[in-house]
Structure 1
Amino acid sequence: MRTITPVSTRPRGLPTPRELAALTGDRDRYIDLIRIVSLLVVVAGHSIMLTVDPAGDSILVGNTLGEIPALQAATWLLQVLPLFFFAGAAASTHAWRSRAATDAPSAGQWLFGRAQRLLRPVVWYLSAVVATLVILGGTGHDAAVDVVARLSVQLLWFLGAYLLVLAVVPFLQRVRTTGHIAIALAACWGSTALVDAVRLSGGPSWLGYAGFLTVWTLPAVLGVAHAKRILRPAIAGVVAACALVVDICLVVWGPYEMSLVTVPGQQLSNMNPPSLLLAGHAIVLCAGAIALWGVLAGIADRPRVWWWVVLGNRGAMTLYLWHLPVLAAIVALGAAAGFDRADAHSMSFPIVVATQTALLLILMVPVLVLLSPLENRPLPWWDDPVARRAGRARDAALVSLVVVIGIAVLMVARSGLVGDGLVYLLIAAGGALGARCLALGIDPEARPRT
C-alpha cells in the first residue's frame, strides 16, 4: 500500500481532490472511510451521553443513558469501536503484505514500528494533561484536578487494547480461507463465552479482562478477512444476521444488559470487561461492513469525499485524544453562561446537547489543523527508522514489551493519573523506552545512496 505523503510537507499547500485521489490511488479507501466516520460517531456519542452537575465543591459526571434507560438501545448503533479494530487490522494487513512481497518482516520489529506511530501523539497529550493538573492544583481547583486526573486518560483504554490486538495481527496472516476465518471467530467467541460463564457463576472477576484480547481480536480477524478478500459479502451478511439474532437472545434470555457502553448502576457492564454480547456486536458490525463493501466503496472513491477522509485520517489519534478536553471546555463555558447539562429530563437538555455536539464537531476542525502536525512529526530518537527483521530472541522480547505497554495503558485508563495509575504509567513508559532500545535500527551504511 502506498503511504500518503503528509499534506503539510507539500510545498504548494493542500492538493485538490483530484490531485489527492491520484496520489493515493492504491489505498483501500473503504477502510479509511470506515475509520473516520466511526470516529466521528464516537465523538458525537460521547457528547450526547454526557451529563455534568457542578454540585458545590465537586463535579458530578453522569451518563444520559443512566438517566433515560429507554435510550440504551441506541448504543447498538452508536457503539462502533469494533470498526476501529476492523479497520486497523485491515490496514495493518495491507502494510504487512506490501513488505512481505519483497522482504517479510519479523513480528516484533513490525509491531514496534506500528507502536512508534501510535504512541507519538500520546506523548504530547499526556504532557498537556500533566501540565493542566499542575496548573489546576497550584490554583486550588481540587475538584477539577480529580475529574481531569481520572477522565482525561479513560479513552486510553482503546490504545492499550489496540496494541494487544496488533500483537496478534502477524499471526493472523496465516488465515487464508473461509474455514480459517470460521475457526478463528469460533475460538475467540467461544473463549469469551467460557470466560463469561466462569466469572458470572462465581469465578474470579479478574478473568473477565481476558476479553480485552478475545473480544477485540474478533474485528481484527474480520479485518484480515476483508484485506485478503476471503469472505464474500453475501456470506458476511449471513454471518452478521446470525450474530444479531444471537445477541438479541442473549439480552432477552441471558444475563446481559441492553447498553453496549458502561452506564452507572449497571450490574453487568458489557464494556469493562468486554462481554460476550459485545463480542457478538463486533461480529455484527464488522461482518456487516464487509457485506456493504460493494455499496459503500463507491462513495469512498469520490474525489471530494476522499479528500476529507484523507485529511481526517491524518489526525485520527489527535481527534480521538483531544475531543474530550474540547468538549469539557464547551460544557464549562456553557455552564458559566447558564446552559448546563445537569438534568437530562429538562426541556432544555436536548437543545443544549445538540448545540454543543454540533459546536464540538465544528471546533475539532481547527484543533486538528493546529495539533495534527504533532501527530505526524517524528520525535527525535523515538522515531528513528526500524529494520524489518531481527533475531528470534530480540523479536520475542519486542512483542512481549509491546504487550506489557498495552496492559499497563489499560490499567492507567482504569485507575486514572492517581495512586496505582501513576505506577502503571511508569511501567508503560519503561516498556516503551525498553522497546525503543531493543528495536533493531537500520544501519546507515546499509541504506541505499541517492
Structure 2
Amino acid sequence: MLTTSHRWKSGSLPTPLELAALTGDRDRVIDLVRICSLLVVVAGHSIMLTVDTSDGAIHLGNTLAEVPILQPATWLLQVLPLFFFAGAAASTHGWMSRAPGDTPSAGHWLFTRTQRLLRPLGWYLGVVLVALAGLTTVGLDAAADVVARLGVQLLWFLGAYLLVLAVVPLLQRVRTSLHVAIALGTCWGSTALIDAVRLADGPSSLSYLNFLTVWTIPAVLGVAYTRRIVRPGTAAAVAIGALILDTALVQWGPYEVSLVTVPGQQLSNMSPPSLLLAGHAIVLCAGAIALRRTLASIAARPRVWWWVVLGNRGAMTLYLWHLPVLAAVIVLGAVMGLDRADVHSASFPIVVGVQTMLLVALMIPVVAMLSPLENRPLPWWDEPVASCAGRMRDLTLTAALVCLGVAVLMTSRYGLFGDGRTWLIFGIGCAATARVLALRRVRRRGADALPGGDASLQVSASRRSTTLDGSHRRR
C-alpha cells in the first residue's frame, strides 16, 4: 500500500503528474493490462448481444451465432486470461515485497483478497435481488427471468478467480524456467486429458475441473512475469508456438473456432473451458511478457496512467455493472425505435456501434459514482484478519473459500431460480464461515492486521490523506 500525507481537497483527485509521482514504484504494466482487458470485455459483450422482443417476450441472442464469419474475432475479444495474469502477477509482487518470516498463512492471505472481491459483489447482488423481487411482484415475469439469469451470469469469473487465487501461494515455488514449463505442461496436459474424457462421453462433472486447470495457466505466467523468469524473446516464441497449435486444434481437431459460448455449439470453449482456451491463455499472457517494454512505455505517459489508476480503482464495479447499464442503453434504443433483433439489417452495425460507444462513455460516471462502495470497508466483514493460524484452521479456511468459489460458479450457471438460490445461500454460508475462521483477537489496533486487498488501485480522498491501495501492498 502506498500512502501519502499530502492533503487533497475533499472529493478532489490528484493531477496526472501528481499521481505519477505518488505511484512511481508500481509496475504499471500490470494495471494497464488489467483495465484494458476489462474494457475489451465490456465492448465485446455489447457487440455480441442481440435482443428480440417482437412476440412480447425477451429473447437474447448472439451476433456470432447468426454471422459465423465473425467468430474468429473472438480470438481478439476473449482477453479475460489477461485479468488472471495480472492478478497473479500483482499477488506475487506482494509476496516478494514481504520481509523474511513475515509471510501470512495461505488461507488467511486468501481471505484478505476475498474481502476485497466480495465487497462490491455484495452491493451488486443486493440490487439484483431487490430488482428481481420487484419485477416478480408486479408480474413482469419475462423481465424477471432475464434479471435472474443475466444478472448473475458473469459471476462465473469471480468464482474461477477465487479458485485460482487459492493456488497462487503454491505458485510462489515457481522460480526457474523449468518450473514454469512443468507447471504449464501439467495444466495443459491435465486439460487435454479431461477434454479427451469429455469428448468420449465421460462424466460431465469432470470437465468442470478445467475451470482450475485452464485459468491457472495465466496465473503461472503472471508469476513468471513478476519474477522475470521468462525472457521476452522466449515468451514471443512460446506465444507463436501456442498460436500455431491452437490453429491446428481448430483445423483438424474437435474444437469450435469461437472462444466464447455461441448457441448451437457442439463443444463450448468457455463453459467449461477447453484445451483451445488453455492455448489461447498462453498466447495472450506470453505475448504480454514479450511486449513488456512497449506496454511500459505506454503506461509511463502521465495522462494514460491517470486513467489507468482511476479505472483500476473501480475495476470490479466496471465488470459487475456494465450489463445493467447495457440493458438500459438497449431499452432506451428500443423506445426510440432502434432495436438489435435483425443482425442482417443495414442499421444493425450502426446501432450496435453507437450503443457500444455510449456504454463505454456511461461507465465512466457509473464507476465514479459506485466505486466508493467498492473501496469502503464494511462493518465486521472488513475487520482485521489474523496474519496466520494453526495448520488445521488455515486449511479449513482455505476449504471454505474454495467452496465459496464453487458456489459462485454454480450460482452463475443456474441463475437465481431453483438450484441457483440454493447455491447462493450455500455461498453466503461459506463466506460467513470464512469470516469467523479469519477473525483475530485485537490486542492493539492495527497490529498484525491484513485488511482486505485487491489487485486494483484505490484512490480515496479524505480530510487527512490520499491512499493508493493496490496490488503492491504487503499482503
TM range (shorter): over 0.9
Give me the whole-angstrom Cα distance separating, in 2, the residues matched to 1:424 and 1:38. Answer: 29
Q: Which has the higher mean CA deviation after the structures are superposed, 439-448 or 291-300? A: 439-448
What is the match of residue 48 of structure 1? 47
* 1:4/1:223 CA distance change after superposition, 3 Å: farther
Shift of 1:97: 2.1
Report 1:103-182 matches (<5 A): 103-182=102-181
Q: Which has the higher mean CA deviation after the structures are superposed, 318-327 or 21-30? A: 21-30
What is the match of residue 264 of structure 1? 263
Q: What is the letter of the counterpart of residue 272 of structure 1? A: S
Report 1:213-362 matches (<5 A): 213-362=212-361
**Tell me, what secondary structure is at the counterpart of 1:153?**
helix
For each residue in 1:306-333, what CA deviation from the matched residue of structure 2 results, as whole angstroms up to 9, or x when unmatched? 1110000000000000000000010011
Report the TM-score, using the length of structure 1 for normalisation: 0.97
Percent identical among aligned pairs is 69
Query: Retained in 1: the 8 A contact 2:8–2:14?
Result: no
Q: CA RMSD in A?
A: 1.7
What is the match of residue 472 of structure 2? none
Shift of 1:442: 5.7
Give me the whole-angstrom Cα distance separating, in 1, the residues matched to 2:9 and 2:405. Answer: 34
What is the match of residue 439 of structure 1? 438
Query: Retained in 2: the 8 A contact 1:8–1:373?
Result: no
What is the match of residue 188 of structure 1? 187
Q: What is the letter of the counterpart of residue 208 of structure 2? A: Y
Q: What is the letter of the counterpart of residue 106 of structure 2? A: A
Q: What is the letter of the counterpart of residue 54 of structure 1? A: T
For each residue in 1:381-413, what CA deviation from the matched residue of structure 2 results, as whole angstroms up to 9, or x when unmatched? 000111221111111011101100000000000
Give me the whole-angstrom Cα distance separating, in 1, the residues matched to 2:221 and 2:373. Answer: 31
What is the match of residue 422 of structure 1? 421
**Tell me, what secondary structure is at the counterpart of 2:339?**
coil
Report the TM-score, using the length of structure 2 for normalisation: 0.92
For each residue in 1:351-393, what CA deviation from the matched residue of structure 2 results, as whole angstroms up to 9, or x when unmatched? 0000000000000011011100000000000001112211111
Unaligned runs of 5+ in 1: none
Shift of 1:205: 1.6
Query: Retained in 2: the 8 A contact 1:250–1:256?
Result: yes
What is the match of residue 95 of structure 1? 94
Give me the whole-angstrom Cα distance separating, in 2, the residues matched to 1:10 and 1:189. Answer: 51
Unaligned runs of 5+ in 2: 449-475
**Tell me, what secondary structure is at the counterpart of 2:58?**
strand
What is the match of residue 24 of structure 2? 25
Query: Retained in 1: the 8 A contact 2:52–2:59?
Result: yes
Q: What is the letter of the counterpart of residue 66 of structure 2? A: E
For each residue in 1:99-136, what CA deviation from the matched residue of structure 2 results, as whole angstroms up to 9, or x when unmatched? 35461111011000000000000000000001111121
* 1:305/1:357 CA distance change after superposition, 3 Å: same
Query: Retained in 2: the 8 A contact 1:7–1:13?
Result: no
Q: Which has the higher contact order (CA 8 A, sep 6+)?
A: 2
What is the match of residue 460 of structure 2? none
Shift of 1:264: 0.5
Query: Retained in 1: the 8 A contact 2:51–2:61?
Result: yes
Q: What is the letter of the counterpart of residue 91 of structure 2? A: S
Q: What is the letter of the counterpart of residue 250 of structure 2? A: V
* 1:101/1:344 CA distance change after superposition, 3 Å: farther
**Tell me, what secondary structure is at the counterpart of 1:55?**
coil
Give me the whole-angstrom Cα distance separating, in 2, the residues matched to 1:199 and 1:269. Answer: 11
**Tell me, what secondary structure is at the counterpart of 2:155?**
helix
Q: What is the letter of the counterpart of residue 261 of structure 1? A: V
Shift of 1:446: 6.8
Give me the whole-angstrom Cα distance separating, in 2, the residues matched to 1:179 and 1:95. Answer: 23
What is the match of residue 196 of structure 2? 197
Q: Which has the higher helix share?
A: 1
